[in-house]
Amino acid sequence: MSRSISAVLAFVGFVLAVLAFTQLVGLGVLREGPGWAIALGAGFVVMLPILGISGLAQHRFEAFATGALLWPIALLVALPVWFPGERPDALSTGFAHLAVPLGEEEAASTFGAALAGFMGDESLAGRPPAVEAQPFVPGEAQLSELHVPQAAELPSGQIALPYEGAGRSLRIPVVIESDGVEQEVWMLYDTGATYTTLTERDLDAIGISIPDDAPTITVHTAGGERTAQIVLIDRVWLGGFPVDGVTVAVCEECGSDEDAGLLGLNVSGQFTVTVDPAERQLVLEPLGSRDRHLDIAHWVEVGATATAWSDGRVEVVVSADSTTDRDVTDLGVSIHCSGEEFTATLDHVPAMGSEETRVKLPRGTDCTTYRIRLEEAHW
Mark whether 235 and 321 lie in a shared domain. Answer: no
Q: Do the domain assignments include residue 339? A: yes
- 86 in any annotated domain: yes
82 in the same domain as 192 = no
* CATH code for the domain of 337: 2.60.40.10
**Within a domain: 128:** no
3-state DSSP assignment of residue 56: helix
How many domains does the chain contain in total? 3
Residue 130 within any structural domain of the chain: no
Predicted confidence at residue 124, as pLDDT, reads 61
Query: pLDDT value at position 139?
Result: 35
Cα separation, 353 vs 339, whole angstroms: 32
pLDDT tens digits in sequence order for the chain, 379 residues long: 566 776 777 788 788 888 889 989 988 888 878 888 998 998 889 888 888 877 776 666 777 778 888 888 888 888 887 787 788 888 888 888 888 888 887 888 888 888 888 887 766 665 544 444 344 333 333 333 334 455 666 767 788 999 998 877 899 999 999 999 999 999 999 888 999 999 999 999 999 999 999 999 998 876 778 899 999 999 999 988 999 999 999 999 998 888 999 999 999 999 999 999 989 999 999 988 789 999 999 999 999 999 988 878 899 999 999 999 999 999 999 999 988 999 999 999 999 999 999 999 998 899 989 999 999 999 9
Cβ neighbours of residue 238 closer than 8 Å, sequence gap 6 or more: 151, 159, 161, 172, 174, 267, 271, 284
Give me the CATH number covering residue 232.
2.40.70.10
Q: How far from chain centre, in Å, is Cα 334?
A: 30
Q: How far is CA 288 from CA 204, 241, 272, 291, 329, in A?
A: 30, 11, 10, 10, 15
Look up the domain containing 212 and give its range: 152-288
Please report whether residue 67 resides in a domain: yes
Q: Give the model's pLDDT for residue 4.
A: 77
User: Both 283 and 372 in a single domain?
Assistant: no
State pTM to two decimals.
0.59
16 and 105 together in one domain: yes
What is the crossing angle of helices 105-119 and 3-30, to 10°? 110
Q: Is residue 210 a part of any domain in this protein?
A: yes
170 with 238, same domain: the answer is: yes
Q: Within this chain, do residues 370 and 274 fall inside the same structural domain, yes or no?
A: no
Residues near 246 by beta carbon (within 8 Å), at least 6 away in sequence: 196, 232, 233, 235, 236, 266, 267, 295
Domain boundary among 288, 319, 343: 288
The answer to whether residues 162 and 224 belong to one domain is: yes
Q: Which of 261, 288, 315 is the last residue of a domain?
A: 288
How many CA atoms within 13 Å lie on the side-chain side of 299?
A: 27
Q: Is residue 126 part of a domain?
A: no
Cβ partners under 8 Å of residue 181, min gap 6: 205, 206, 207
Q: Are residues 200 and 263 in the same domain?
A: yes
Could you tell me which residues are beta bridge partners of residue 275? Answer: 282
pLDDT of residue 142: 35
| Domain end among 269, 288, 307 | 288
300 and 284 housed in the same domain: no
172 and 243 belong to one structural domain: yes
268 and 303 part of one domain: no
Residue 311 lies in a domain: yes
Q: How far apart are CA 258 and CA 221, in angstroms?
A: 17
Residues 100 and 194 both lie in one domain: no
